[in-house]
Amino acid sequence: MLDSNLPVSLQYQLREVLFEKLNSGEWKAGEMIPSEHELCEEYGVSRITVREVLKELVQSGYLKRKQGKGTFVSKPSVEATLVSNYSLSADLKQKGISSEFKLISLEVVDPSPSKKEFFELADGEKLFEIIRTRTIKDEIYAWEKAYVPEKYLKDLTEEEIQSKGLYPSIKERTGLYPIEAEEKMEAVICPAYVAKQMNLPTNTAVFKIKRNTKSMNGYIEKCESYLVGQTYNIKHIIKNGI
């Protein structure tokens, strides 16, 4: 059951619970998930809430509806590996384009079981959840939600993350900095709650990027981003023998 006394909505809580089932592998690719009625009964929420969350997960590519059969976990998409040291922020700066972050929220949260395992956290250790948008000339072109172990950002303030940025704040406290990042990208329909914060029309197509960033001391960040396709595009150069 979810908790209506928490400061976040039941829809947000349910979305996080179902995300955890997908990310942990409890709901496996190709399997049918419980029906709307079963989810309502299990979590004590209305059918409207369940439908909205399932709609967002379908739009994000996590689930797939089959007419007359039910809702299934999407099978993994074909994946290509691109090796580079590309930085979007650095590329924009090199081209003389000013890009800025706007902080939406900064919270300390309990890790889900999968995130606790991913970051190798001890019992009681928490995470920072940082939600930001990126803008160019006051137009939002990206939304991101990042998780970072609290121990790497002790006493972090909104003013500091806004002025210094994420990685400099980590390095200043710990000496750690990114040495490697793995990104997975796919085209999806922007989830409604993200589209609202990005001021996008309903059903806008965007790039979804999931990034895991590693330092010499292990993983320091887990991030999910949505980028507007009209602003962001990819050029992949393929050379023989690479």
Residue listed under structure tokens 């689930």: 63
Shared domain check, 211 and 184 = yes
Count up the domains in the chain and report the number: 2
CA angle 97, 102, 104 (to 5 degrees): 155
Q: What's residue 198's pLDDT?
A: 93
Shared domain check, 113 and 53 = no
CA dist., res. 47 & res. 58, Å (int): 16
Q: Is residue 144 part of a domain?
A: yes
Shared domain check, 224 and 129 = yes
Q: What DSSP character marks residue 103? A: E
Q: What's residue 237's pLDDT?
A: 58
CATH code of the domain covering residue 158? 3.40.1410.10
- Which residues span the domain enclosing 121? 88-228
Q: What's residue 78's pLDDT?
A: 47
Q: Is residue 240 part of a domain?
A: no
CATH code of the domain covering residue 39? 1.10.10.10
Shared domain check, 50 and 122 = no
Backbone angles phi, psi at 4, to 5 degrees: -75, -10
Q: What's residue 137's pLDDT?
A: 78
Q: What's residue 129's pLDDT?
A: 96
CA dist., res. 206 & res. 54, Å (int): 18
Last residue of a domain, one of 73, 107, 122: 73
SS3 label, residue 21: helix
Shared domain check, 151 and 45 = no
CB 31 within 8 A of CB 158: no
Shared domain check, 222 and 172 = yes
Model confidence over 73-115: pLDDT tens digits?
Answer: 987 654 445 455 445 565 566 666 677 889 999 999 999 999 9
Model confidence over 127-186: pLDDT tens digits?
Answer: 999 999 988 878 898 999 999 999 999 999 999 998 888 999 999 999 998 988 888 888
Q: Is residue 81 part of a domain?
A: no
Q: Is residue 79 part of a domain?
A: no
The larger pLDDT score, comparing residue 4 to residue 199, is at 199
Q: pLDDT class for 241, splitting at 50, 70, 90?
A: very low
Q: Express as a percent the part of the chain with pLDDT over 70.
A: 85
Shared domain check, 135 and 22 = no
Q: What's residue 172's pLDDT?
A: 94
For the chain, give the mean pLDDT: 85
| Report for 51-60, 76-85, 205-214, 222-231: range of highest mean pLDDT | 205-214
Q: Is residue 40 part of a domain?
A: yes
Rg (CA), the chain: 19
Q: What's residue 108's pLDDT?
A: 95
Alpha-carbon torsion 178, 131, 227, 63, what sign?
positive
